[in-house]
Amino acid sequence: MSLIDKTFSPADFEQRIYARWEAEGAFRPSRPDAQPFTIIIPPPNVTGSLHIGHALDNSLQDVLIRYHRLRGRDARWVVGTDHAGIATQMVVERQLAESTQGTTRQAMGRAAFLETVWDWKRTSGDTITRQLRRLGASCDWAHERFTMDDGFNIAVTRVFVQLYNEGLLYRDKRLVNWDPKLKTAISDLEVETREVAGTFTHIRYPLADGVTLASGADHIIVATTRPETMLGDTAVAVNAGDARYQSVIGKYVRLPITGRLIPIVADDHADPELGSGAVKITPAHDFNDFEVGKRHAMVPINIFDADARIIAADGIPADYVGMDRFDARKKVVADLDVLGLVALIEAKTIQMPYGDRSGVVVEPWLTDQWYVNAAELAKPAMEAVRSGATQFVPKTWEKTYFNWMENIQPWCVSRQLWWGHQIPAWYGPDGQCFVAESEADAQALAGNLALVRDEDVLDTWFSSALWPFATLGWPDDTADLARHYPGDVLVTGFDIIFFWVARMMMQGLHFMDGEVPFKTVYCHGLVRDAKGAKMSKSKGNTVDPLVLIDKYGADALRFTLTAMESQGRDIKLDEKRVEGYRNFATKLWNAARFCEANGIAASTSPVPPAAGHAVNRWIIGEVAATAAGLDAAIAAFRFDAYADTIYQFVWNRFCDWYLELTKPLLAEGGDAAVAAETRAVTGWALDQILVMLHPVMPFLTEELWHKLGQREGDLIVAAWPDAAALPTDATASADIEWLIGLISEVRSARMELNVPPGAKLGYSVEGASPVVVSRLAGHAAAIAWLARITPAPAPFGGTRLQLVHAEATYALPLEGVIDLAAERARLEKARAAAEKERDALAGRLNSPGFVEKAKPEAIEKARADHEARSAEAERLGAALARLG
């Protein structure tokens, strides 16, 4: 047995312990007959590093995995990383730009660029997985996956081809959100709408052919936040019911600058209440206008290239061509102004779409892209949640899920990037499309046509959506799949319900014969700084979990995040909390040192030792209650309750009372049998603490587990206490609660009267029931040790400290130094409190309706409490009377 060091220093053992667990395969012990418990990790970006959000997400998952592993289940935490298409490609491109050569991917070519990304993945790809190990995450590393490994590539291709053949995935020309910086299409979800200060430009469009409005005006005023798009206008729309414009429907306006004639059409999109009631229609660059254009069979006029620069479209003057969209905007307004056509420019807060990765304004742009029929796939995904096959925790997120799913749009899955799964589609010379799992298969479909493969790759989330089954070997029919699909719980942030959770639901149900990918989705909140601000690098308020781990230990960080996780609410992380839980770890460490120094060692059995002494019987019952509380917390996904329950037990019960109450029992000269029993029970209880705390503080508990004695195996695979099977003793419990109450009363009274802490006093007791008399005798040593009072029968009266506890009155002589006024004040205060409660209870008992309508337990309790408070008030009154 090794001695427990005087100082608790987590850095000394955390990494050593983790390495041993991993080397021994402890994260996934062979349990072929056990019920599986499966969690799939939200795969972190392969080139990322661990941020505090990961720390939270993975701490919670590890708590669940370790708990169920301790409960004997075949716990498997499926792990791996995501290739993170756009994010990774951006990182590598930035590096290329900043490198000495200052090159670009276009200059390198696709093959060379991809080789560079793979190199980067190989060199930095294990950063995050190393950091997850520092956190203590007990993942199944032996089967680590990557969304671009060979097996995953097969799965992605299979899914793409099958969805295509089922008509659920198709190529279409429609407006997409185009990111002119990244030069790729992005999905609706990757667009974030921001409110920015902009302008609303009112433009006069001259009516052609001499027609006029009802007002006599020779022009129509339209207003726009994006004047440059007028170069691509194909119509002006007015509402059919708008009297102002009746006369011009079907007529034309002469579009300024371009000189084109465009029709005035009637369409409900034009709202008479808004602005002039007339709107310009640019089908190629506005989602609403695109729909208007379709209704009126207009041919959209695209005015931008991929960089959002003006192209030589119909009627656009040559001096505009090649101009950036924002420069073009200024020029359009200037040119219109020269023509006298700018009616008004007003400042206005406008909603602008931005690319979430690039941060530039997204352009609606007409291109050919691949789409998934999400609305169709969403049907079973919604039904699965409605039926309860998959449940969200907290339940409120189900509403969010339904709300989005019910309004789901076609999912644009093609990206004009290089890093990712290249789309398995080939084109013939005339654009004929062949979708197949391999070029050979495509060629077989195409016959003799020369084929060219689609250049684009798939949205990263397309592959992430397959994570719950592709990681388990799909499309092969594997044993892993049979055993671990569906997963038990998915733990993730609410912010990726749409991106990821919903899509896993859709793909999982579709490709796994209607089986959901997971039974429960636990959504946690965001980690914010201590003041509640969102953490961001630009604000400089980020907290690096590894810095906290270095400073306080991984266990303290894990405990903090677990304790602060109360069902989905955002976490405001204050380093003081981490410090506090490090102190808790230290407390337990020192308690274990104390045990070791007192000859208390590892217990040999999960069954509690036979115990006769009340304090020992009591602590065994307390362990049972704690285990039951922890079981309930896990069942309800109350991580905060889990942390709180074990914290209170360890510190406020085990350390503060049990270890203190048993000190006299272990003292020299005591009953050897009782001492032996106490050592055995203490060792057992400490073992149970280590087991019960292990899911949250795995390193510290494993270290102590071995320091306390020879073990057959590691704590990580030890046995969780069976709460229902542990003996509880109500009598012993009442006994010890009485004892704790008495000691607390005595201490409190001593403090209030400034009795020197070390002073030992005698006491007399009056009104003690036989039970109390026997308890006073039985616990005399503990009372002497902790309350510093010993029996010294003496007549009541005179200058004594008096206190009332459990219907008995105790009197402690103070050798004449008692401050009578202070003692009187103390007793008065206690009596007033007792009387106040007594009266409140009487009021309730006498109030009409209470006795007739309240629950019997409530009435019973009120009566008992009333009686106790009355008796207490009387005894305190008697004590006051004796003071004189």
> Interface residues with RNA (CB under 7 A)?
7-8, 188-189, 192-193, 351, 396, 399-400, 403-404, 407, 498, 530-532, 564, 566-567, 569-572, 574, 576-577, 580, 582-583, 585-587, 590-591, 593-594, 597, 640-641, 644, 651-652, 655-656, 659-660, 744, 747-748, 751-752, 757-758, 837, 840-841, 844, 847-850, 853-855, 858, 861-862, 865, 869
Query: What b-and-e string marks burial along 725-762, b requiring 16 or more CB atoms within 10 Å of the CB?
Result: ebebbeebbebbebbbebbebbeebbebbebeeeeebe
Smallest distance from RNA to CB 469, Å: 27
Q: Which of 767, 407, 715, 570 is nearest to 56 (CA)?
A: 570
Residues with Cβ within 8 Å of residue 760, at least 6 apart in sequence: 784, 788, 789, 790
Cα dist from 34 to 30, 68, 142, whole Å: 9, 11, 20
Q: Which of 500, 481, 462, 467 is nearest to 168 (CA)?
A: 462
Collapsing DSSP states into helix, strand and coil, what is residue 28?
Answer: coil
Beta strand pairing status for 278-281 and 235-238? antiparallel
CB atoms within 10 A of CB 818: 19
Q: Which of 557, 591, 587 is nearest to 574 (CA)?
A: 557
CB distance 263 to 147 below 8 Å: no
Looking up tokens 């997204």 gives: 362
Backbone angles phi, psi at 720, to 5 degrees: -70, 140
Closer residue to RNA in complex, CB, 40/641: 641
Smallest distance from RNA to CB 613, Å: 18
Q: Up-side HSE of residue 513: CA atoms within 13 Å toward CB?
A: 7
Q: What is the DSSP letter of 143?
A: G
Q: Which of 794, 600, 159 is nearest to 413 (CA)?
A: 159
Smallest distance from RNA to CB 395, Å: 9
Q: For residue 262, what is the enclosing H or E element?
A: strand 261-266
Q: Rounded to an integer, what distance in angstroms lies between the CA atom of residue 740 and that of residue 810?
A: 15
CB atoms within 10 A of CB 633: 20
Smallest distance from RNA to CB 597, Å: 6
Closer residue to RNA in complex, CB, 156/742: 742
Q: Rounded to an integer, what distance in angstroms lies between the CA atom of residue 489 and that of residue 80?
A: 17
Closer residue to RNA in complex, CB, 540/849: 849
Closer residue to RNA in complex, CB, 644/722: 644
CB distance 84 to 460 below 8 Å: yes
Token pair recorded at residue 566: 């109360």
Smallest distance from RNA to CB 644, Å: 6
Smallest distance from RNA to CB 603, Å: 18
Q: Which of 645, 657, 656 is nearest to 616 (CA)?
A: 657
Token pair recorded at residue 510: 């579709």
Q: What is the DSSP letter of 497?
A: I
Beta strand pairing status for 414-415 and 571-572? unpaired
- Give the E-state strand segments of 70-207 in sequence order: 74-78, 80-81, 145-146, 169-179, 184-186, 191-206
Backbone angles phi, psi at 287, to 5 degrees: -65, -40
CB atoms within 10 A of CB 172: 12
Smallest distance from RNA to CB 37, Å: 25
Closer residue to RNA in complex, CB, 756/793: 756
| Class of residue 785 by CB neighbours under 10 A (exposed 0-12, middle 13-18, buried 19+) | middle
Looking up tokens 């990774």 gives: 88
Smallest distance from RNA to CB 347, Å: 19
